[in-house]
Amino acid sequence: MKSIYSLVLGGSVVWLFVACDQQTSQRSGDFVSQPDPTAGPVEQGSQIRSKPGYKVMISEFLAVNDSITQDGQGQFSDWIELYNYGEEAVNLAGFSLTDDALNSSKWRFPERLLPAGDFLVVFASGEGGETLGELHCSFRLASDGEFLGLATPDGVFIHQYEPTYPKQRTDLSYGIGSEWEPGQMPIDFEGYLVTSTPGRRNDAFVLGHVEPVEFSHSRGAYGDRFDLELSTKTSGSEIYYTTDGSHPDINSGRLYEGPIPVNDDTVVRARAIKSQFRSSRIKTATFLLPDSGIANNGQQWDMDLELSIVSLSLPPIEFREAYVNSELNGRESEQLASIEWIDLAGGKKWAENGGIRVRREPGNSTEDTKHSFRLYFRDQYGPPRLKKSLFGAGSASAYNRLALRAVKTAGDSIWNRICHDLMGAVRQPYLRGRFCHVSINAQFWGLYELTERPGLGFAAAYFDGKPSDFDLIGKTSENNSDGAWYRVIEGQSDAWQRMLAEVKGRGFGMLEVDNFISFMLLASFREGGASFDIGDWVAIRNREGTQGFRWMLGNRRPVAGAGDREQ
């Protein structure tokens, strides 16, 4: 488990990251001064014991960090944030952080100056020391609560949470709210924070969080109409919901006052809200009634195919904007959406938030009503990776990007899939995929192919190495300004250019020849036989390894002619 402690009142920032073990002691509370065995009961909460020249406190911490902030090594370590609320800089050398009230010097700071009004973040990874310019303390924070304190070089606690901080929640930070000012008791402004702000001014504090909305029926296909009931375990809260894909809140949602009739294909998005509490996360569920007799977007579900269903839900106005601007690229063209998976054959069902981008395939007109989609999993939307196995044995177990390719002509799409699977059959790298139905805001959108997309995450999943070690080169849609017939997808082009020079001199040290032969045999099946389409191939190499470039068919696979497909 990981934890964050920080106080934010403008100025610079110092961070402390602490990685916490879910099985460590279950103490809950805030920092207090060194315990006095002769003293009476201590009030639980954040306590400051001022000492001349030492106006530093733990302002915020996150004990269960799944997706909020990564350290320099790409890990979601817990973290602790310090804030200098004084008027003078403080040299932290010899100061210490600890999760043991009887051991004030458990982890000592190295030489580090904390300017007035600045923050410092320390990762609680348990590693201890300094890595890539970041401080890592030697202990981890407990999700169920424990003591946490900041002590001076002579062992006197100047800020501590005692006897323990409260039980912590995933990606929900705890600390001192933005309303606090020096001279006031921190405990009066202590609580869960509306948003985590490591290294920045804290957000307002809340008294707690609202438990998730529970649905009486799980997402999926149903044979009969039913009434959907919503509930939450947090008393005094209100539930708001929508049925058009919009984000539910007090202004855009409907107040839940009784069961919701589900008479045809319906998407329900709901959240629970309570004053001075952090609202629950939005829960989304799509319900399909293929036997309702009601046409969906002019079509009917073909459940006999037993294809899995990918359901996308997002506000209609945002979806229309993305669809109209389908030629745009970049993150600014992405829209936050709920992405659901409904496996009619195997029964697997799940939902995650992600970004979607509408992708108009080259050659398709803007009037075309069926475009492809790209799916992105980033920490700004939710989990930074989709931790699901989607393509059977031997496939990756996590993804940060996927593609939903629109099936326009079934024969071509099936042939494309055959070409990819043949690459896999001869033990060469290939993009895995499967056919599925797509629903958008409970509207049937047709047959699609869900596929992997080449990228650094893909390379690290199937080849030895870290994501940053790889070069990915692909076919460009047209010649670059310098006449190049390729483009750098990720990484660098130095090794690629050396490989081209070697091949011209009949050297093949940087080219995996067996792989290239398999690739060319399958690429020859494409229609026309003369040149690659856009994105028709990708070459991958680990810069730190000894192997050469390995080639594979890209997202725009070769398409055979009708005669070849008959054969």
**Residue 376: enclosing H or E segment and its boundaries?**
strand 372-376
For 156-173, the DSSP string reads -EEEEEEEBPPPPBTTB-
Side-chain-side CA neighbours of 329 within 13 Å: the count stands at 1
pLDDT for the residue 329? 76
Quote the distance between the C-alpha of residue 167 and its chain's center.
24
Identify the three-state secondary structure at position 90: strand
- As a whole number of angstroms, the distance between CA 516 and CA 334 comes to 35
pLDDT at 467 over 80: yes
- As a whole number of angstroms, the distance between CA 496 and CA 175 comes to 50
Q: Are 247 and 269 spatial neighbours (Cβ–Cβ below 8 Å)?
A: yes
Which residues lie below 8 Å from residue 257, measured CB to CB, with a gap of 6+? none
> CB count, 10 Å around CB of 364?
16
Most confident of 288-302, 361-375, 446-460: 446-460
Q: Are 445 and 438 spatial neighbours (Cβ–Cβ below 8 Å)?
A: yes
Mean pLDDT of 33-57: 56
pLDDT for the residue 560? 43
- Of 521, 496, 532, 522, whose CA–CA distance to 511 is shortest? 496
- The least confident of 36-40, 152-156, 193-197, 216-220 is 36-40
Mean pLDDT of 437-441: 94
pLDDT at 476 over 70: yes
For 103-161, what is each residue's pLDDT tens digit?
A: 999 999 999 999 999 999 999 999 998 988 899 999 999 999 999 999 999 999 999 99
Quick one: pLDDT band at residue 30, thresholds 50, 70, 90?
Answer: very low
Mean pLDDT of 289-301: 63
Q: What angle do CA 407, 411, 412 make, to 5 degrees?
A: 65
- As a whole number of angstroms, the distance between CA 528 and CA 517 comes to 19
- As a whole number of angstroms, the distance between CA 286 and CA 288 comes to 7
Quick one: pLDDT band at residue 21, thresholds 50, 70, 90?
Answer: very low
The DSSP call for residue 344 is T
- As a whole number of angstroms, the distance between CA 400 and CA 388 comes to 11
- The least confident of 35-44, 376-385, 549-558 is 35-44
Quick one: pLDDT band at residue 276, thresholds 50, 70, 90?
Answer: confident
Tokens of 37: 């065995």
pLDDT for the residue 331? 81
Q: Roughly what angle, to the nearest 10 degrees, separates helices 410-425 and 513-523?
A: 160
Mean pLDDT of 187-193: 87
Residues belonging to the chain: 567
Side-chain-side CA neighbours of 93 within 13 Å: the count stands at 4
For 222-253, what is each residue's pLDDT tens digit?
A: 989 999 999 999 999 999 999 999 999 998 89
Mean pLDDT of 279-293: 87
Quick one: pLDDT band at residue 185, thresholds 50, 70, 90?
Answer: confident
Higher pLDDT, 24 or 484: 484
- Whole-structure pTM value: 0.71
Round to the nearest angstrom and report the end-to-end CA distance of the chain. 57
- As a whole number of angstroms, the distance between CA 325 and CA 370 comes to 13
- Of 376, 424, 382, whose CA–CA distance to 403 is shortest? 376
The owner of tokens 């043949």 is 422
- As a whole number of angstroms, the distance between CA 98 and CA 96 comes to 7
**Residue 553: enclosing H or E segment and its boundaries?**
strand 550-553
Which residues lie below 8 Å from residue 513, measured CB to CB, with a gap of 6+? none
Mean pLDDT of 538-561: 80
Q: What percent of the chain has pLDDT over 90?
A: 54
For 64-115, what is each residue's pLDDT tens digit?
A: 988 788 888 888 899 999 999 999 999 999 999 999 999 999 999 999 999 9
Output the average pLDDT for the chain.
Answer: 83
- As a whole number of angstroms, the distance between CA 192 and CA 175 comes to 6
Taking the CA atoms of 218, 219, 220 and 224 in sequence, report the sign of the dihedral they define.
Answer: positive
- As a whole number of angstroms, the distance between CA 288 and CA 120 comes to 50
Mean pLDDT of 255-264: 96
Higher pLDDT, 169 or 50: 169
Most confident of 181-195, 412-426, 448-462: 448-462
In Å, how far are 313, 339, 453, 533 from 404, measured between CA atoms? 15, 12, 10, 18
Q: Are 343 and 354 spatial neighbours (Cβ–Cβ below 8 Å)?
A: no
Quick one: pLDDT band at residue 367, thresholds 50, 70, 90?
Answer: low
Identify the three-state secondary structure at position 471: strand
pLDDT at 432 over 60: yes
Q: Are 140 and 61 spatial neighbours (Cβ–Cβ below 8 Å)?
A: no
To 10 degrees, the CA torsion angle through 344, 346, 352, 356? Answer: -60
The DSSP call for residue 534 is T
pLDDT at 406 over 50: yes
- Of 561, 553, 554, 556, whose CA–CA distance to 528 is shortest? 561
pLDDT for the residue 40? 40
Mean pLDDT of 376-395: 90
pLDDT for the residue 115? 95
Quick one: pLDDT band at residue 51, thresholds 50, 70, 90?
Answer: low
Q: What angle do CA 413, 417, 418 make, to 5 degrees?
A: 115
Identify the three-state secondary structure at position 343: coil
- As a whole number of angstroms, the distance between CA 514 and CA 550 comes to 9
For 319-364, what is each residue's pLDDT tens digit?
A: 988 887 777 777 888 999 999 999 887 678 999 999 999 986 655 5
In Å, how far are 124, 162, 183, 473 from 34, measured between CA atoms? 22, 10, 20, 59
pLDDT for the residue 564? 40
Which residues lie below 8 Å from residue 259, measured CB to CB, with a gap of 6+? 227, 228, 229
Q: In degrees rounded to 5, what are phi and psi of residue 445?
A: -115, -5
In Å, how far are 19, 153, 199, 565 from 143, measured between CA atoms? 10, 28, 21, 58
Mean pLDDT of 186-200: 88
pLDDT at 19 over 70: no
In Å, how far are 156, 423, 499 from 539, measured between CA atoms? 59, 14, 11
Q: Are 174 and 68 spatial neighbours (Cβ–Cβ below 8 Å)?
A: no
pLDDT for the residue 242? 98
Q: Are 103 and 41 spatial neighbours (Cβ–Cβ below 8 Å)?
A: no
Tokens of 366: 């803007």
